[in-house]
């Protein structure tokens, strides 16, 4: 069999399932990402039988929305009539509710069970004290060496009249033998079915291969291995390689789907109607409120100076949870300032502030992706010790080693014979006491957990280098099945291949529009890779020993490029005048005993805190060389008085921590005032968010520390819209269900800034929104299922109960109020852009992929055209047959 | 949109309050009576002994913890209310078990424990695998009840005595063969309840229950064996089945502890650990230390309840590279040995275990190894100061032994009303053999020899798989 052909078929077949990210770096991706080339409803139709799940909201969800008056009667009737349904609304509801889901015996039960048994043993990332033997030889080989001892499998084979013969040495040969009777044309369908049988596990293999995780480098697995093992077992136990019937029969009734679609679209349109009227009201109020243009300085004015009256500007990462904080902070100034002028101005930036970077943690030495997973990283940010705080830094690292020693001690005592028995008797009372402490006083218990009590931000400063990105999603299908060659090199080669220019479009959205010469090569300097092989192996934990002498080996990118990064942020925020204090506010969440904790962090950005990016940006913007270049080359003058700092918004408690250790004395008062205002804002914010009239701040804190809290916060649940436009559109209204990107079309004469936003943040928002949509419409299939029966597997994922498919999405407790009632409204994202229509036409002309997402209805795009009196128009979608 | 910051329902808060009050009442009674045990009977039906108070306090404690936790954790669960009622039913059954004197009431209580626990395992009736698991476990529990019924009723009909106290006091009048069969049946019932090999699979298939129910199962339900064996202690002496108990416990303890190390799912890992710990408890019974077994079940309950409730903390991004562990110097080794011996002497001195040539030596040996092992893991780490290594850690370890001994001695004194619960078996060859096997196991683990036996790995994996119908058995689709 042709190896190349086989790989091609495997890669194409693998598109039927999504990618499963590990829970320590949760990514809210579209589970139907493989279907994005199709229009939305066509994709649903195709994916529904593959997954055997619901892809449209159920009758009871619509009924609830109807009762809560979320769906407008006129719009709904109109929708129904248009497609020729004239029965009553109640009647359509009843029809939808007549669809009942029930359990059917899984005809692949034994095959699934045996596959999962071996997969979970191999994929383990350190939960088992003793790893599977032969693991370093790769999945297929280690399985082959062990399975000869598997009496369970032998018994099933005997039942089927088979005996275990020699298993071929390579997975290709194994597949060849099993598929001997099949035509090559049938392969793709066979593979698709066997991938779709366990989408979660297969998705995780895809993750390991495409991202070439550190575990993958040590213990390689490929989709080819998976197929070889699964099909070999299947042929041995007599499970169908290709059953007569498709895996899941599509019982769904076209008539009911038609009704569901009408209801969905009516719901979306009803919300849009309200949304637009809110926007218009808000911007009208804003116009009335404005006495003069003194606070908005529009245009590329080289004379921009310090903005008068403002104490600070706060820039937030792309996230719905910042809206309340922004609104309340803006009021903070307005309410207390004698001149009744706002003290604070806020901006919404791109996700992760638009820096496509990886981050190397100074303590663990491990490298994390710290930017949206839709694109490859261009930079690697590391930390160097601040010169005069080396003692504190050493103490911090020592403390970390101590903590890890304690953890190791506990693990060791639990595991080893016969100490495990003595240990339980000696420590039982301590466990009992700590149990009560966690139950009754979570905040105090938190203090005793084996974690660092404070961050290291004051002890280190970030520095930025260019990096070979972890291979991007869009190109990685090339190497899905390939684990045999030296992987790091392979991926680097592919990234560098000038033919694959699509790599760059997403990777460099923060700055490619200013003409990065190396855009075609993904921003990678080939010489550097050859000279500095360690960059490629940035995951190498050995690097942690380097940070002592790191100053001598700093391999910075040029100041020009740094200036471009900073300019990118200013541009995309539509922002040119500066307050004395500018705060880049990243966000993260804190919750206890929560396997999905990272899904509440900077969600689309690989489940990492946003502070890494915020600190990097503040560091760059304070750099004098960068400021000089910005002034000389781009007419952006940052006043001497302006100082940049980073901060972190903890979204579960709404605390904001300022990383202000290096702040100059002149700014101390400002920072002190800001801190005071932030504490005040926290009280207001939690009161509104939690609906708690008193003590809301401490209730929020308790929730974040409580180990029995299954809903520490709602994350991005409830989001429905995305506003790309100036803050003036939204300032005088409440838009806590919207993402907001500060964008001013007047500052963007050629539409390049908008292009950056639409190709970056908008694509990310599409992923987030569809992740939430599918997790809500079928939490079992596309979400994580209920937390209460989760069983953590291998340190990276969860299964249900005794074992199941690996869960792929957000848990029930993140999107639903109860088992039966949704919290997140499952509708598609509506995006409002304030920009001339011609900008958008031009951008989409150059990006057919984005265009098909919009025309296909994965994103509902609306344009508020300032050249047409700000009239709001829907961007046309293609007609999708029912 | 505003979050609804939901709070536990009134029912949960009331039940939790009720259980905490009962817990306080029981602790109060223990303190009040101490060191004498209460001796209250109600005809042939009920009695209150030291064990009743101890177990009531224990089960109220764990139930209260679980209800407190679940009240918040399960908010929004379709069977929220059902959960608290079932948990309460289970708590009542355990309480009845140690309250009963009449054999039939004991059987009802035993049946009730299994009934409520299997309902908790299958509480989510919408879920096919949970229904299968519930059925599978219920079958085990019914079999356990059946064996218990045979064992107890044989004795009852022989003696025409239907109270436990009555049976125990005239155990000497029963023919040996009948005594033996009866003891074997009761041991089987206990082994099923505590998930001893080869009846361990139900415990590893019971993860369909919500996490708090698992905590209750592993801190409460499995302890049934310890309670049963303690209640009927003289029966095992007279039927010469103590060695059998020691043997069952010993084999299971080693196998399950090994199986634990290769599990890749946290709950299965904890399940194997529970089986190992229960096996150790049964070993303690087999050595004649029923009092130690009761203490072990309480302490293990605290330990395992904590680990289950916090089992959501296992997500972690580890590095596949094993860090280099520092090696020991000669002086450190000497210190480790010295402290191990010191710990053992201290333990022997305050508990009296290990001073004579009996099973107590075995338990003392375990203390010595545990202290040595603990010390070893501290002393070779550079991060810890000399003060911590040489003074604080040893004092802390001895303090922990002291705390344990305090509890052990207290329990022993309080439980003197029960016959033959602290009656060490004299040292036998089998015990010595097991002692050696334990040591060999210890070294096999330390040196990682297991990797040379792939068949052993696969065997252990297969033996610790959940029952096949309880996973990946069903698919959801439109009816």
Residues of A in contact with B303 (CB under 8 A): 424, 427-428, 431
Sequence ranges of the domains in chain B: 10-242, 330-447
Q: Looking at the structure, tell me whether residues A588 and A676 fall in a common domain.
A: yes
Residue in A closest to B363 by C-alpha:
A422
Interface residue A412 vs chain B (CB under 8 A): yes
Mutation for testing the B interface, residue in A239, A418, A596, A704 having most B CBs under 10 Å = A418
pLDDT at A604: 57
pLDDT at A881: 67
Do A417 and B273 count as a contact with CB atoms less than 8 A apart? no
Q: Looking at the structure, tell me whether residues A527 and A632 fall in a common domain.
A: yes
Interface residue A792 vs chain B (CB under 8 A): yes
> Worst-scoring range by mean pLDDT, A137-151, A249-263, B136-150?
A249-263
Do A421 and B366 count as a contact with CB atoms less than 8 A apart? yes
- On whether the CB atoms of residues B245 and B188 are closer than 8 A, the answer is no
Q: Looking at the structure, tell me whether residues A376 and A412 fall in a common domain.
A: no
Residue A723 β-bridge partners: A740, A832
Q: Is the predicted pLDDT of residue A497 greater than 50, yes or no?
A: no
Over residues A330-340, the mean pLDDT reads 62
> Helices A151-159 and B454-463: crossing angle, nearest 10°?
70
Over residues A867-872, the mean pLDDT reads 90
Q: Looking at the structure, tell me whether residues A208 and A282 fall in a common domain.
A: no
The alpha-carbon gap from B111 to the nearest alpha carbon of chain A, in Å, equals 25
Last residue within a domain, chosen from A448, A470, A498:
A448
Q: Is the predicted pLDDT of residue A519 greater than 60, yes or no?
A: no
Residues of B in contact with A817 (CB under 8 A): 4, 76
Whole-angstrom Cα distance, residue B110 to residue A105? Answer: 33
- Whole-number average pLDDT of chain B: 92
- On whether the CB atoms of residues A776 and A58 are closer than 8 A, the answer is no
Do A413 and B374 count as a contact with CB atoms less than 8 A apart? yes
> Worst-scoring range by mean pLDDT, A261-270, A649-658, B79-88, B432-441?
B432-441
Residue A48: pLDDT band by 50, 70, 90 thresholds? Answer: confident
pLDDT at A530: 35
Give percent of chain B above pLDDT 70.
97
- A588 in a structural domain: yes
Q: Report the domain count for chain A.
A: 4
Residues of A in contact with B458 (CB under 8 A): 146-147, 149-151
Q: Is the predicted pLDDT of residue A269 greater than 90, yes or no?
A: yes
The alpha-carbon gap from B338 to the nearest alpha carbon of chain A, in Å, equals 17
Do B446 and A145 count as a contact with CB atoms less than 8 A apart? no
Residue A484: pLDDT band by 50, 70, 90 thresholds? Answer: very low
Last residue within a domain, chosen from A696, A714, A732:
A714
Q: Looking at the structure, tell me whether residues A864 and A837 fall in a common domain.
A: yes
pLDDT at B435: 75
> Worst-scoring range by mean pLDDT, A519-523, B17-21, B274-278, B425-429?
A519-523
Residue in B closest to A131 by C-alpha:
B262
- A457 in a structural domain: no
pLDDT per residue as tens digits for the range A422-464: 999 999 999 999 999 999 999 999 989 998 988 899 999 999 9
The alpha-carbon gap from B366 to the nearest alpha carbon of chain A, in Å, equals 6
Q: Is the predicted pLDDT of residue A469 greater than 80, yes or no?
A: no
pLDDT at A810: 95
pLDDT at A500: 30
Do B472 and A439 count as a contact with CB atoms less than 8 A apart? no
Do A146 and B309 count as a contact with CB atoms less than 8 A apart? no
Do B68 and A120 count as a contact with CB atoms less than 8 A apart? no
Whole-angstrom Cα distance, residue B369 to residue B440? Answer: 13
Do A366 and B311 count as a contact with CB atoms less than 8 A apart? no
Q: What is the 3-state secondary structure (H, E, C) of A534-583?
A: HHHCCCCHHHHHHHHHHHHHCCCCCHHHHHHHHHHHHHHHCCCCECCEEE
> Worst-scoring range by mean pLDDT, A237-246, A696-705, B53-62, B233-242?
A237-246
Q: Is the predicted pLDDT of residue A514 greater than 60, yes or no?
A: no
Do A127 and B454 count as a contact with CB atoms less than 8 A apart? no
Residue A555: pLDDT band by 50, 70, 90 thresholds? Answer: low
Residue A88: pLDDT band by 50, 70, 90 thresholds? Answer: very high
> Worst-scoring range by mean pLDDT, A94-98, A336-340, A748-752?
A336-340
A317 assigned to a ligand binding site: yes
pLDDT per residue as tens digits for the range A806-864: 999 999 999 999 999 999 999 999 999 999 999 999 999 999 999 999 999 999 999 99
Residue in B closest to A120 by C-alpha:
B264
- Whole-number average pLDDT of chain A: 84
Residue A548: pLDDT band by 50, 70, 90 thresholds? Answer: very low
Q: A332-349 burial string, b = 16+ CB within 10 Å, else e?
A: bbeeeeeeeebbbbbbbb
**Rg (alpha carbons) of chain A, rounded to whole number:** 28
Q: Is the predicted pLDDT of residue A205 greater than 50, yes or no?
A: yes
Residues of A in contact with B320 (CB under 8 A): 125-126, 214-215, 217-219
Between A and B, how many residue pairs show a Cβ–Cβ distance under 8 A? 382
Q: Is the predicted pLDDT of residue A520 greater than 90, yes or no?
A: no
Q: Looking at the structure, tell me whether residues A726 and A667 fall in a common domain.
A: no
A587 assigned to a ligand binding site: yes
Give yes or no for a cis peptide into B35 (omega within 30° of 0). yes
Q: Looking at the structure, tell me whether residues A591 and A482 fall in a common domain.
A: yes
Q: Looking at the structure, tell me whether residues A755 and A703 fall in a common domain.
A: no
pLDDT per residue as tens digits for the range A98-140: 988 888 899 899 999 999 999 999 999 999 988 999 999 999 9
Residue in A closest to B435 by C-alpha:
A418
Residue A331: pLDDT band by 50, 70, 90 thresholds? Answer: confident
Q: Is the predicted pLDDT of residue A472 greater than 60, yes or no?
A: no
Do A109 and B468 count as a contact with CB atoms less than 8 A apart? yes
pLDDT per residue as tens digits for the range B60-114: 999 999 999 999 999 999 999 999 999 999 999 999 999 999 999 999 999 999 9
By Cβ distance, the residue of B295, B321, B442 closest to A417 is B442
More confidently predicted of A287 and B276:
B276
Mutation for testing the A interface, residue in B9, B314, B348 having most A CBs under 10 Å = B314
pLDDT at A289: 63
Q: Looking at the structure, tell me whether residues A746 and A859 fall in a common domain.
A: yes
> Worst-scoring range by mean pLDDT, A235-244, A375-384, A563-572, B354-363?
B354-363
pLDDT at A503: 31
The alpha-carbon gap from A776 to the nearest alpha carbon of chain B, in Å, equals 15
- On whether the CB atoms of residues A230 and A151 are closer than 8 A, the answer is no
By Cβ distance, the residue of A593, A709, A819 closest to B77 is A819
- On whether the CB atoms of residues A115 and A198 are closer than 8 A, the answer is yes
Nearest to B60 by CA among B30, B22, B87, B98: B22
Q: Looking at the structure, tell me whether residues A549 and A698 fall in a common domain.
A: yes
Interface residue A415 vs chain B (CB under 8 A): yes
- A809 in a structural domain: yes
More confidently predicted of A489 and A412:
A412
pLDDT per residue as tens digits for the range B23-62: 999 999 999 998 888 888 998 899 999 999 999 999 999 9
**Reported ipTM:** 0.96
Q: Is the predicted pLDDT of residue A727 greater than 50, yes or no?
A: yes
Residues of A in contact with B74 (CB under 8 A): 710, 788
Q: Is the predicted pLDDT of residue B148 greater than 90, yes or no?
A: yes
Whole-angstrom Cα distance, residue A187 to residue A179? Answer: 8
- A351 in a structural domain: yes
Residues of A in contact with B455 (CB under 8 A): 149
Q: Is the predicted pLDDT of residue A485 greater than 50, yes or no?
A: no
pLDDT at A710: 95
Nearest to A321 by CA among A589, A510, A95: A589
Do B407 and A699 count as a contact with CB atoms less than 8 A apart? no
pLDDT at A873: 93
pLDDT per residue as tens digits for the range A588-642: 999 999 999 999 987 656 678 889 999 999 999 999 999 999 999 988 889 999 9
> What contacts B220, CB < 8 A, 6 or more positions away?
B59, B62, B63, B90, B91, B94, B301
Find the domain containing A246 and state its range.
1-44+106-251+781-815
Residues 689-728 in A contacting B (C-alpha not used; CB under 8 Å): 689-692, 699, 703, 706-711, 713-714, 718
Do A424 and B277 count as a contact with CB atoms less than 8 A apart? yes
Residue A475: pLDDT band by 50, 70, 90 thresholds? Answer: very low
Q: Looking at the structure, tell me whether residues A413 and A319 fall in a common domain.
A: no
The three-state secondary structure class of A327 is: helix
- A826 in a structural domain: yes
The alpha-carbon gap from A120 to the nearest alpha carbon of chain B, in Å, equals 7
Q: Is the predicted pLDDT of residue B355 greater than 60, yes or no?
A: yes
> Worst-scoring range by mean pLDDT, A379-388, A491-500, A577-586?
A491-500
Residue in B closest to A142 by C-alpha:
B454
Q: Looking at the structure, tell me whether residues A470 and A553 fall in a common domain.
A: yes
Last residue within a domain, chosen from A422, A448, A474:
A448
């Amino acid at each position: 069999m042709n190896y190349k052909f086989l790989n091609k078929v495997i890669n194409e077949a693998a598109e039927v399932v999504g990618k499963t990210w590990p829970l320590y770096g949760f990514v809210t991706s579209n589970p139907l990402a493989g279907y994005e080339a199709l229009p939305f409803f066509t994709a649903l139709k195709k994916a529904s039988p593959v997954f055997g799940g619901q892809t449209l909201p159920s009758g009871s969800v619509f009924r609830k929305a109807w009762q809560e008056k979320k769906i407008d009667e006129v719009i709904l009737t109109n929708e129904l009539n248009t497609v020729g349904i004239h029965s009553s609304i109640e009647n359509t509801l009843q029809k939808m509710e007549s669809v009942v889901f029930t359990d059917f015996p899984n005809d692949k039960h034994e095959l699934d069970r045996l596959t999962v048994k071996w997969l979970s043993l191999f994929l383990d990332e350190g939960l088992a004290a003793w790893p599977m033997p032969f693991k370093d030889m790769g999945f297929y080989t280690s399985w082959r060496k062990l399975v000869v001892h598997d009496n369970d499998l032998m018994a099933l084979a005997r039942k089927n009249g088979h005996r275990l013969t020699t298993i071929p040495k390579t997975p290709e040969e194994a597949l060849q033998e099993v598929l001997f009777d099949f035509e090559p044309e049938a392969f793709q369908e066979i593979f698709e079915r066997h991938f779709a049988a366990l989408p979660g596990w297969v998705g995780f293999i895809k993750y390991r291969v495409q991202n070439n995780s550190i575990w993958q480098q040590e213990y390689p697995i490929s989709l080819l291995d998976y197929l070889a093992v699964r099909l070999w077992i299947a042929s041995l136990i007599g499970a169908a390689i290709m059953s007569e019937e498709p895996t899941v029969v599509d019982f769904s009734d076209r008539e009911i789907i038609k009704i569901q679609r009408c209801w969905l679209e009516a719901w979306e349109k009803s919300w849009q109607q309200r949304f637009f009227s809110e926007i218009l009201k808000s911007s009208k109020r804003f116009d009335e409120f404005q006495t003069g243009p003194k606070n908005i300085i529009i245009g590329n004015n080289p004379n921009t100076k310090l903005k008068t009256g403002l104490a600070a500007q706060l820039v937030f990462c792309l996230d719905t949870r910042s809206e309340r904080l922004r609104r309340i902070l803006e009021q903070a100034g307005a309410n207390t300032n004698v001149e009744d002028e706002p003290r604070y101005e806020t901006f919404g930036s791109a996700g992760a502030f638009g820096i496509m970077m990886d981050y190397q943690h100074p303590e663990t030495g491990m490298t994390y992706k710290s930017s949206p997973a839709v694109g490859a990283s261009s930079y690697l940010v590391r930390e160097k010790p601040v010169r005069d705080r080396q003692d504190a830094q050493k103490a911090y690292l020592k403390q970390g080693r101590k903590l890890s020693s304690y953890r190791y001690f506990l693990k060791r005592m639990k595991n080893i014979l016969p100490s495990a028995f003595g240990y339980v008797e000696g420590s039982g009372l301590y466990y009992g006491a700590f149990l009560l402490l966690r139950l009754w006083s979570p905040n105090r218990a938190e203090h005793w957990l084996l974690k660092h009590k404070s961050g290291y931000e004051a002890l280190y400063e970030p520095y930025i280098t260019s990096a070979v990105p972890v291979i991007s999603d869009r190109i990685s299908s090339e190497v899905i099945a390939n684990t045999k060659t030296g992987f790091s090199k392979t991926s680097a080669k592919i990234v560098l291949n000038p033919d694959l220019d699509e790599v760059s479009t997403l990777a460099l959205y923060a700055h490619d529009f200013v003409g990065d010469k190396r855009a075609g090569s993904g921003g990678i300097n080939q010489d550097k890779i050859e000279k500095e092989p360690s960059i490629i192996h940035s995951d190498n934990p050995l690097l942690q020993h380097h940070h002592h002498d790191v100053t001598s080996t700093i391999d910075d990118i040029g100041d020009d490029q740094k200036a471009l990064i900073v300019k990118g942020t200013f541009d995309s925020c539509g922002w040119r005048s500066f307050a004395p204090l500018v705060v880049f506010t990243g966000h993260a969440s804190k919750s206890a005993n929560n396997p999905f904790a990272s899904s509440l962090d900077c969600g689309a950005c690989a489940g990492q805190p946003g502070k890494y990016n915020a600190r990097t940006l503040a560091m760059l913007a304070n750099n004098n060389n960068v400021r000089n270049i910005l002034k000389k080359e781009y007419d952006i003058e940052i006043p001497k008085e302006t100082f940049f700092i980073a901060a972190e918004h903890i979204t579960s408690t709404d605390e904001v921590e300022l990383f202000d250790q290096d702040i100059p004395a002149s700014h101390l008062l400002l920072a002190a005032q800001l801190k005071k205002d932030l504490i005040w804002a926290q009280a207001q914010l939690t009161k509104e968010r939690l609906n708690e009239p008193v003590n809301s701040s401490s209730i929020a804190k308790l929730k974040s520390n409580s180990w029995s809290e299954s809903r520490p916060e709602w994350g991005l649940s409830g989001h429905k819209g995305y506003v790309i436009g100036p803050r003036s559109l939204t300032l005088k209204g409440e838009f806590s269900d919207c993402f907001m990107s500060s964008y001013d079309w007047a500052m963007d004469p050629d539409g390049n800034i908008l292009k950056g936003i639409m190709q970056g943040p908008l694509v990310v928002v599409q992923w987030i929104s569809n992740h939430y949509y599918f997790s809500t419409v079928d939490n079992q299939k596309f979400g994580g299922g209920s937390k209460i029966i989760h069983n953590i597997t291998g340190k990276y994922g969860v299964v249900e109960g005794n074992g199941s498919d690996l869960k792929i999405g957000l848990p029930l407790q993140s999107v639903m109020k109860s088992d039966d009632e949704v919290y997140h409204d499952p509708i598609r994202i509506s995006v409002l852009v304030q920009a001339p229509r011609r900008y958008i036409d031009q951008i989409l002309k150059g990006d057919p992929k984005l265009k098909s997402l919009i025309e296909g209805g994965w994103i509902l795009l609306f344009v508020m055209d300032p050249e047409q009196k700000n009239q709001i128009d829907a961007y046309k979608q293609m007609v999708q047959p029912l | 949109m505003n979050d609804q910051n939901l709070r536990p329902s009134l029912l949960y808060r009331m039940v939790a309050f009720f259980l905490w009050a009962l817990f306080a009442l029981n602790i109060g009674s223990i303190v009040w009576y101490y060191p004498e045990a209460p001796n209250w009977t109600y005809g042939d039906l009920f009695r209150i002994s030291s064990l009743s108070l101890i177990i009531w306090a224990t089960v109220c404690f764990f139930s209260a913890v679980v209800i407190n936790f679940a009240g918040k954790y399960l908010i929004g669960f379709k069977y929220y209310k059902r959960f608290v009622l079932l948990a309460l039913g289970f708590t009542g059954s355990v309480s009845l078990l140690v309250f009963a004197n009449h054999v039939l009431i004991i059987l009802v209580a035993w049946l009730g424990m299994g009934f409520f626990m299997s309902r908790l395992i299958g509480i989510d009736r919408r879920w096919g695998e949970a229904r299968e698991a519930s059925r599978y476990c219920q079958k085990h529990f019914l079999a356990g009840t059946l064996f218990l019924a045979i064992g107890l009723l044989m004795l009852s009909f022989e003696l025409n005595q239907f109270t436990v106290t009555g049976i125990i006091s005239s155990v000497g009048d029963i023919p040996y063969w009948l005594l033996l069969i009866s003891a074997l049946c009761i041991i089987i019932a206990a082994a099923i309840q505590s998930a001893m090999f080869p009846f361990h699979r139900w415990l590893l298939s019971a993860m369909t229950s919500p996490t708090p129910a698992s905590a209750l199962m592993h801190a409460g339900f499995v302890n049934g064996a310890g309670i049963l064996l303690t209640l009927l202690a003289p029966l095992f002496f007279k039927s010469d089945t103590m060695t059998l108990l020691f043997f069952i416990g010993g084999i299971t303890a080693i196998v399950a502890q090994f199986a634990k190390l290769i599990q890749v799912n946290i709950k299965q890992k904890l399940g194997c650990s529970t089986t190992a710990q229960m096996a150790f408890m049964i070993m303690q019974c087999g050595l004649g230390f029923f009092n130690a077994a009761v203490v072990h079940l309480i302490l293990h309950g605290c330990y395992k309840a904590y680990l289950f409730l916090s089992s959501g903390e296992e997500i972690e991004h580890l590095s596949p590279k094993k860090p280099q562990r520092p090696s020991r110097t000669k002086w450190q080794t000497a210190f480790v040995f010295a402290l191990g011996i010191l710990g053992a002497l201290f333990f022997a001195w305050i508990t009296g275990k290990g001073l004579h040539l009996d099973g107590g030596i075995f338990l003392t040996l375990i203390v010595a190894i545990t202290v040595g092992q603990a010390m070893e893991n501290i002393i070779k780490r550079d991060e810890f100061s000399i003060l911590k290594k040489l003074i604080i850690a040893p004092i802390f370890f001895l303090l922990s032994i002291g705390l344990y001994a305090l509890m052990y001695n207290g329990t022993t004194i309080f439980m003197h009303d029960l016959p033959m619960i602290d009656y060490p078996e004299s040292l036998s060859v089998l015990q010595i053999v097991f002692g050696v096997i334990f040591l060999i196991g210890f070294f096999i683990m330390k040196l990682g020899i297991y990797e040379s036996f792939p068949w052993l790995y696969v065997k252990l994996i297969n033996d610790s798989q959940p029952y096949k119908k309880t996973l990946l058995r069903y698919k959801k689709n439109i009816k």
